[in-house]
Structure 1
Amino acid sequence: MEKQIINTQEAPAPIGPYNQAVKAGNFLFVSGQIALHPETNQLVMQDINAETHQVMQNLKHILSAAQMDFSHVVKATIFITDMNNFSQINEVYGKYFSGDFPARETVQVSALPKGVNVEISVIAGK
């Protein structure tokens, strides 16, 4: 199976040995995104809503670089450090989809990179 690396300057550069996304066949595997602003490389953490919006914007730009959008997402994984933030994260996340939602799990973890509160990865298909 052919593998294509997807990277865009409209999303934060990887902070480790990985790519923003890898396209394999008809599927796009997008690495977990945190609320790093791609232009400033600063975290957007005024509140959980702003943080989640930045994560979703990062995902949006990576999907776009692969000529996809949120309608192509078939699976999402959400990692959060505090389940008390779930409803706010869920509300922001839901605004990026219309109609059919992807499969998903949400997992509370003890810590995330750079001390963020939320990280989201997706798998999209076309």
Structure 2
Amino acid sequence: MKALIAMLALLGSCSASAASPVFYPAPGAPFSKAVRAGDTLYLSGMIGATADGKLPSDFASQIQQLLENIKARTAALGLSMDDLVKCTVMLDDMGNWSQFNKIYMTYFKPDHLPARSAFAVSGLALGAAAEMECIAYVPAEAK
């Protein structure tokens, strides 16, 4: 949390008001990795691509990599998976829903699950099997 506050202080020092959104650019991409608006952090959708941009060949490996990517993104922002309050899942085949859930549940505490919705899509970036976007609650620390 302290790392996020420090990062926000640096990014916000450009005379932006406390109510102004903070953008975390994704260099070379037409979107931000995340945007903070007040106490809410919106994480852009992520797929199960590895650091070199390649997708694992099987569904389970893609989902594990997708969740590792989200875990790494939250950690880079000074957060954890516990800070996620809402996730939206997009699957290219709802027949994989059960398998997705088994892997998903290993990343969250059973009594601390984010709200979630899911739907089937006809195609995802790079031909991915799944994509997930998340919202985190990050309250401002008292001064």
Task: Give the shorter-chain TM-score range.
Answer: 0.7 to 0.9
Flag the structure with larger Rg. 2
Q: Deviations over 1:99-126 (max 9, x none)?
A: 2111100100111111111000000002
Residue among 111, 119, 129 paired with 1:117: 129
Residue among 72, 82, 95 paired with 1:84: 95
Partner of 2:117: 105
Please, which runs of 5 or more residues in structure 2 have no aligned partner?
A: 1-18, 139-143
Residue 117 of structure 2: SS of its match in structure 1?
strand
Partner of 1:10: none
Residue 124 of structure 1: SS of its match in structure 2?
strand
Please, which runs of 5 or more residues in structure 1 have no aligned partner?
A: 8-12
- Count, aligned residues: 119
Partner of 1:72: 83
* Identity between Structure 1 and Structure 2 (%): 33
Contact 1:22-1:29 at 8 Å conserved across structures: yes
In proportion to residue count, which structure has more helix?
Answer: 2
Whether 1:54 aligns to 2:68 is no
Contact 1:32-1:121 at 8 Å conserved across structures: yes
Residue among 20, 33, 40 paired with 2:46: 33
Cα pair distance change 1:37/1:15, threshold 3 Å: farther
RMSD value over aligned CA atoms?
A: 1.5
Partner of 1:5: 23
CA shift for structure 1 position 64: 1.0
TM-score, normalization by structure 1 = 0.87
Runs of at least 4 residues off by over 6 Å: none
Letter aligned with residue 3 of structure 1:
P
Partner of 2:106: 95
Instruction: Output the CA distance in 1 between the equivalents of 2:33 and 2:113.
Output: 22
CA shift for structure 1 position 14: 6.5
Letter aligned with residue 107 of structure 2:
Y
